């Protein structure tokens, strides 16, 4: 300690007393939280530095993890693999059949589209693949980071897909990583639409229900004719100001009538397996809102 | 030397953050992973006092904020005070006694989680506190304590090694 004091005496300011330092740091935090709240900005250069330090290491660890789990999987017995092979062959047959049917249907749809000139409604957005490198540091939220950021053209508000379903939305970007909030996060809300009737409603993540039954909730469904049923696909709605329309979220798991008798609420089973997301696709387009 | 301690502590923080966000997410039980950062913040708090505790807390929180925070500063503020308050117990700390570390680390983990629940969940209308206690706070506490038993002794040894080195170089300067 004596040595330290000697070194700092030249600067006249010896040592900021601990309680002042506490006040200063608290003040910095509070200011930063408020600027974040008001101006909606994220870390800037600071998070860029953090990204360059941590993301390569996280990627490395994940690669090692994937490599080991692959090696472990190699020990699966031959009989298991053969059995799986049989099943998969059957699945291929089924899927080929389905494909033929849907090809015929899509030919029809193409025709209609040409007639109605609907093409501009369904532009093929450019997508970019990214790997999930790290998950949230606490157990309250469902937020993860991916190994691509603004250097790859990712911006805040872009939609993130995993497989064919909606995984989440980009909430902050740095040059080499981006943070994604998943659909099942407790604080997340999506305007959605049930495909069978076209009714719009609100889908929100729920930590408790996700932990207990692996479902998320929906509310304010106005299904006056009672046509919506369990198993109906739910996609993102055209009224959403954040999500591109028509991305599959999940399937209706349960429906309840609200006490007001006008609207319904219930639960949805998401299509994405959030526990095992490894790669995602980011749609390189931010939905333009008519503001 | 001051520089040595800074570098060593930063490496510890980085390692724990990396482990917490990658390896322990894969090793989670029922989607619950341990909180290594709170162990680091709390341990350095009661081993080294309020000043170091709060600086380490601030840095840990800031890193967490930069990657996962909704607003930069929330975790930094939380861990800042965690480190500071743990530092107040430095005078009661004896390296051979594991009771105080266990108590302080558990207390820090539970209180931090309760604060997160209060500010980020209760205020959004999630009132089932008993559920969250049972499903998140207690499992995290148990898992964190299991990890503490290993990690705490590593941190203790590293700190003792650093203090030994610091004493020696201080002597050299006095001569």
Domain ranges of chain A: 43-72+125-286, 87-119
Give the mean pLDDT of A175-188.
90
Average pLDDT over residues B113-141: 90
The answer, yes or no, to whether residue A178 has pLDDT greater than 70, is: yes
* Range with the largest mean pLDDT of A55-64, A90-99, A193-202, B90-99: B90-99
Residue A121: band (very low, low, confident or very high) from pLDDT cuts 50, 70, 90? very low
Residue A217 pairs in a beta bridge with: A204, A267
**Average of per-residue pLDDT across A242-250:** 87
pLDDT for the residue B14: 93
pLDDT in tens, A130-166: 988 888 878 888 899 999 999 999 998 899 988 778 9
pLDDT of residue A1: 44
Q: Which two tokens stand for residue A247?
A: 């991305």
- Mean pLDDT is lowest, of A76-80, A112-116, B26-30, for A112-116
3-state secondary structure A126-189: CEEEEEEEEECCCCCCCEEEECCCHHHCCCCCCEEEECCEEEEEEEEECCCCEEEEECCCCCCE
Nearest to B58 among A25, A30, A62 (CB): A25
Q: Chain-wide mean pLDDT for chain A?
A: 82
| Cβ contacts of B23 on chain A, cutoff 8 Å | 61, 65
Is the predicted pLDDT of residue A169 greater than 90, yes or no? yes
Q: For B102-123, what is the mean pLDDT?
A: 93
Choose the closest CB to A29 out of B66, B80, B126: B80
- Where is pLDDT greater, at A104 or A48? A48
Question: Chain B partners of A58 at a C-beta cutoff of 8 Å?
Answer: 18, 21-22
Q: Which residues of chain B have a CB within 8 Å of the CB of A65?
A: 22-23, 26
Nearest-neighbour CA in chain B from A89: distance (Å): 31
Rounded CA separation B55/B69 (Å): 19
pLDDT(A115) > 70: no
Could you tell me the pTM of the whole model? 0.80
Structure confidence at residue A11 (pLDDT): 44
Residue A107 CA: distances (Å) to CA of A23, A100, A111, A114, B52: 68, 11, 6, 11, 68
Chain A residues within an 8 Å CB radius of B128? 208
CA distance B48 to chain A (A): 13
Q: Tokens standing for A88? A: 């998969």
Are A179 and B67 within 8 A, CB to CB?
A: yes
d(CA A216, CA A203) in angstroms, rounded, equals 7
Q: Which of B18, B51, B73 sits opposite A33 (nearest CB)?
A: B73
Percent of chain B having pLDDT more than 70? 98
- The nearest alpha carbon in chain A to B30 belongs to A211
The answer to whether the CB atoms of A31 and B116 lie below 8 A apart is no
Per-residue model confidence as pLDDT tens digits over B18-44: 999 888 887 777 788 999 999 999 999
Segment of A119-123, A164-168, A188-192, B76-80 carrying the highest mean pLDDT = B76-80
Q: What are phi and psi of A263, to 5 degrees?
A: -120, 165
Q: Is A61 on the interface with B (CB under 8 A)?
A: yes
Query: Can you tell me the distance from the alpha carbon of A9 to that of A45, in angstroms, rounded to the nearest whole number?
Result: 32
CB B110 within 8 A of CB B141: yes
Query: B50, exposed or middle or buried, with CB in 10 Å at 0-12, 13-18, 19+?
Result: buried
| Mean pLDDT computed over B81-110 | 93
- B135/A211 touch (CB, cutoff 8 Å), yes or no: yes
Determine the Cα–Cα distance for residues B62 and B110; give it in Å rounded to an integer: 20
Å between B161 CA and nearest CA of chain A: 17
Q: Hey, what domains does chain B have and what are their CATH numbers?
A: 2-169 (1.10.1760.20)
CATH class of A43-72+125-286: mainly beta
Collapse the DSSP code of B30 into the 3-class scheme (helix H, G, I; strand E, B; otherwise coil) and give the result. coil
Q: Is the pLDDT of residue A18 over 90?
A: no
In terms of CA atoms, which chain B residue is nearest residue A177? B67
What ipTM, to 2 d.p.? Answer: 0.84
Residue A213, CB-side half-sphere exposure with 13 Å CA sphere: 12
Residue pairs spanning A and B at CB distance below 8 A? 146
Using a CB-CB distance cutoff of 8 angstroms, which residues of chain B are in contact with residue A29?
Answer: 58, 61, 73-74, 76-77, 80
Q: Is the pLDDT of residue A117 over 70?
A: no
């Amino acid at each position: 300690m004596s040595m330290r004091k000697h070194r700092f005496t030249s600067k006249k300011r010896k040592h900021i007393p601990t309680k002042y330092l506490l006040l200063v740091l608290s003040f910095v935090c509070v200011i930063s939280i408020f600027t974040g709240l008001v101006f909606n900005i994220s870390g800037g250069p600071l998070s860029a530095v953090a990204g360059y330090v941590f993301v390569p290491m996280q990627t490395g660890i994940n690669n090692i993890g994937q490599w080991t789990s692959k090696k472990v999987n190699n020990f699966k017995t031959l009989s298991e693999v053969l059995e799986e092979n049989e099943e998969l062959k059957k699945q291929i047959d089924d899927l080929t059949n389905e494909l033929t049917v849907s090809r015929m249907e899509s030919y029809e749809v193409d025709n209609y589209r040409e007639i109605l000139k609907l093409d501009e409604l369904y532009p093929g957005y450019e997508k970019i693949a990214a790997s999930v490198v790290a998950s949230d540091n606490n157990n309250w939220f469902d937020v993860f980071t991916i190994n691509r950021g603004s250097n790859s053209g990712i911006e805040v508000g872009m939609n993130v897909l995993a497989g064919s379903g909606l995984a989440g939305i980009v909430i902050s970007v740095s040059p080499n990583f981006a943070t994604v909030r998943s659909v099942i996060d407790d604080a997340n809300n999506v305007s959605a639409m049930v495909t069978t009737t076209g009714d719009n409603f609100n889908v929100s993540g729920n930590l408790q229900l996700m932990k207990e039954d692996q479902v998320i909730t929906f509310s304010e469904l106005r299904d006056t004719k009672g046509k919506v049923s369990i198993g109906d696909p739910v996609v993102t709605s055209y009224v959403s100001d954040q999500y591109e329309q028509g991305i599959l979220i999940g399937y209706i798991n349960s429906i309840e009538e609200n006490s007001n008798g006008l609207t319904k609420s219930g639960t949805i089973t998401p299509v994405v397996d959030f526990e095992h997301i490894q790669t995602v696709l980011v749609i390189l387009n931010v939905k333009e809102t008519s503001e | 030397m001051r520089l040595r301690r800074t570098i060593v502590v930063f490496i510890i923080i980085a390692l724990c953050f990396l482990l917490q966000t990658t390896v322990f997410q894969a090793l989670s039980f029922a989607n619950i992973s341990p909180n290594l950062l709170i162990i680091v913040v709390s341990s350095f708090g009661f081993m080294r006092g309020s000043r170091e505790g709060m600086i380490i807390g601030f840095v840990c929180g800031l890193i967490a904020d930069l990657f996962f925070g909704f607003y930069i500063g929330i975790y930094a503020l939380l861990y800042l005070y965690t480190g500071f308050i743990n530092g107040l117990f430095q005078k009661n700390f004896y390296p051979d006694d594991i009771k105080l570390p266990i108590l302080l680390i558990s207390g820090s983990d539970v209180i931090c989680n309760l604060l997160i629940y209060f500010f980020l969940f209760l205020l959004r209308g999630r009132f089932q506190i008993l559920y969250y206690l049972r499903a998140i706070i207690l499992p995290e506490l148990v898992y964190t304590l299991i990890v503490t038993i290993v990690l705490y002794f590593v941190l203790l040894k590293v700190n003792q090694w650093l203090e030994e080195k610091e004493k020696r170089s201080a002597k050299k300067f006095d001569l």
